[in-house]
C-alpha cells in the first residue's frame, strides 16, 4: 500500500464516516478544513506549538497539525463541530466560555475548548494552578487567560455536579 500520489482513506469524524483521497502528507488538520469543510478547527502555527488545532482522537486531545490524516484511519475523531448536542445544546465548556467571556478574537477558542473538555475529563482541573499547567499547550495571543481559567473552573464544577446527580 505505497503511493506517492493519492491514497484513499476513511475517517470517522463526529460520528460520521467520510471517504476521501489525499496525498499521504496531508495532515488531519488540512483534511478537516480543506477537504471536509470543517473549518472550526483552526490553523495557528501549523507546527505543534499553539494548540489552536486541538481535536480528540479516541477521546484523547491531540494536535491535528502534527497528525497525518492517514494515521487517523480507524480512530474516532471529534472536532469542535461535534461537541454540542444534536439539538444545538452547548457543551458545558462551551457555555462556560460564553458566560465567562473567555475569549477576545476567538481564534484560539475552538482549540481551548477541546483542550478544556479533555483537561476536565482527565481530572486535571482540580485547582487554578493545575488548570494553568494542563492548559499550557493552548496559547491565546489576546491574553484572555484569566477568563479561560475561570471558564474551565466553572465547567469542571458543573461536570462534577452533573455526574453526582447522575449517580
Partner 1 sequence: MRDFSYLRANSVDAACQAAALPGAMLLAGGTTLIDLAKCGVTEPETVVDISHLKGLDTITVDDRGVTIGALARMSSVADHAEIKSRFPAVSEALWQAASAQLRNMATIGGNLMQRTRCPYFRDPANFPACNKRTPGSGCSAIGGVTRGHAVLGTSEACIATYPGDLATALVAFDATVHLGDRQVAADDFFLLPGATPHREHAIEPGEVITAISIPASAAAGRSTYLKVRDRQSYEFAAASAAVGIEFEADGRTIRDLRVALGGVATKPWRARAVEEALKGKLLEADIVKQASLLAIEGAVDHGANHYKIELAPRVVARAILKVGETA
Interface with partner 1 by CB under 8 A: which residues? Answer: 1-4, 7, 23-25, 27, 46-48, 51, 54, 60-63, 65-68, 70-71, 74, 115, 118-119, 122, 124, 132-138
CA 78 distance to own-chain centroid? 7
Strands (E) in the chain, as ranges, are 7-13, 16-22, 54-57, 60-63, 76-78
| Nearer CB in complex with partner 1: 99/132 | 132
CB of 72 to partner 1, least distance (A): 10
Q: How far is the CB of 1 from partner 1 (least distance, A)?
A: 6
Dihedral sign (CA 145, 147, 151, 157): positive
Give the rounded distance of the alpha carbon of 159 from its chain centre.
Answer: 18
Nearer to partner 1, 73 or 89 (CB): 73
114 touches 55 (CB < 8 A): yes
Tell how strand 7-13 and strand 54-57 pair up.
unpaired
- Residue 98 CB, shortest distance to partner 1, in Å, is 23
Indicate the residue among 62 and 159 with the shorter CB distance to partner 1.
62
Cβ proximity to partner 1: between 60 and 89 the closer is 60
Amino acid at each position: 500500500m505505497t503511493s506517492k500520489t493519492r491514497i484513499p482513506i476513511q475517517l470517522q469524524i463526529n460520528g460520521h464516516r467520510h471517504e476521501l483521497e489525499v496525498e499521504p502528507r496531508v495532515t488531519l488538520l488540512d483534511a478537516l478544513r480543506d477537504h471536509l469543510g470543517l473549518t472550526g478547527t483552526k490553523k495557528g502555527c501549523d507546527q505543534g506549538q499553539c494548540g489552536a488545532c486541538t481535536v480528540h482522537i479516541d477521546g484523547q486531545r491531540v494536535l491535528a497539525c502534527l497528525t497525518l490524516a492517514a494515521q487517523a484511519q480507524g480512530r474516532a475523531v471529534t472536532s469542535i463541530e461535534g461537541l454540542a448536542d444534536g439539538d444545538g445544546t452547548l457543551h458545558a465548556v462551551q457555555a462556560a466560555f460564553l458566560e465567562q467571556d473567555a475569549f477576545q478574537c476567538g481564534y484560539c477558542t475552538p482549540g481551548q475548548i477541546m483542550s478544556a473538555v479533555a483537561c476536565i475529563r482527565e481530572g486535571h482541573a482540580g485547582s487554578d494552578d493545575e488548570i494553568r499547567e494542563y492548559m499550557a499547550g493552548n496559547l491565546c495571543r489576546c491574553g484572555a487567560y484569566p477568563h479561560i481559567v475561570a471558564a474551565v473552573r466553572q465547567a469542571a464544577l458543573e461536570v462534577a455536579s452533573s455526574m453526582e446527580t447522575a449517580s
